Amino acid sequence: MISLLGATPVFVDIDAATFNIFPEKLETAIHQVVQAGKLTPKAIIPVDLFGLPCDYDRINKTASNHNLVVIEDAAQSFGAEYKGRMAGSLAHAGCTSFFPAKPLGCYGDGGAVLTDSNDLADTLKSIRIHGKGKELAGVTNDTPRP
Ligand SMILES: Cc1ncc(COP(=O)(O)O)c(C=O)c1O
């Protein structure tokens, strides 16, 4: 998806104890990318693996130091908590999958984006119905068509 959008994914190694992104290596990767001067870091996508949220105190601090957006991949951590906050709410936006193998599965494929940003929520609702914008306010996938 990152490449399809014209961006370049830069992978960061994991902490062998948790299998989650290694915060120091994230810092190093950002510095290396900036130094190389070819790419402009935009976002961090930490994956909360096996029900264990990543170290969001450090990741969010790094993101704010570099003016980056954090998109939490909570597909394997739905229902988990990090310092009293639920997985999916630990970054600017959280994504989850409802594929049947996930902690909260549906019949078939499904997913959700979670955010407390009204602007992002409006954009996501628009994208959900082919970029309808505000023109079709109140119209959903279930609304009968003429
Ligand atoms: C951590 C994680 N993120 C994302 C996905 C992708 O989910 P989906 O197949 O619903 O797009 C998976 C599925 O295996 C996953 O384990």
Question: What are the residue boundaries of the structural domains of the chain, listed by start?
Answer: 23-128
3-state class of 73 per DSSP?
Answer: strand
Length of the chain: 146
For residue 92, report the distance from its CA to the centre of ligand 1, in Å.
19
pLDDT tens-digit map of 104-129: 999 989 999 999 999 999 999 998 88
Instruction: Catalogue the active-site residues.
Output: 102
pTM above 0.85, yes or no: yes
Q: What is the pLDDT of residue 133?
A: 79
146 pLDDT above the threshold of 90: no
Question: Are the beta carbons of 132 and 139 closer than 8 angstroms?
Answer: yes
How confident is residue 144, by pLDDT bands cut at 50, 70 and 90?
confident
> Which atom of ligand 1 is found nearest the CA of 97?
10
Q: Which residues line ligand 1 (CB under 6 A)?
A: 47, 73, 75-76, 97, 99, 109, 111
> How many Cβ atoms are within 10 Å of 135's Cβ, its own excluded?
8
**CA–CA dist 42, 22 (Å, integer):** 18
How much is the pLDDT for 132? 80
Pocket test for ligand 1, best of 102, 107, 113, 114 (most atoms within 8 A of CB): 102
For the domain spanning 23-128, the CATH number is 3.40.640.10
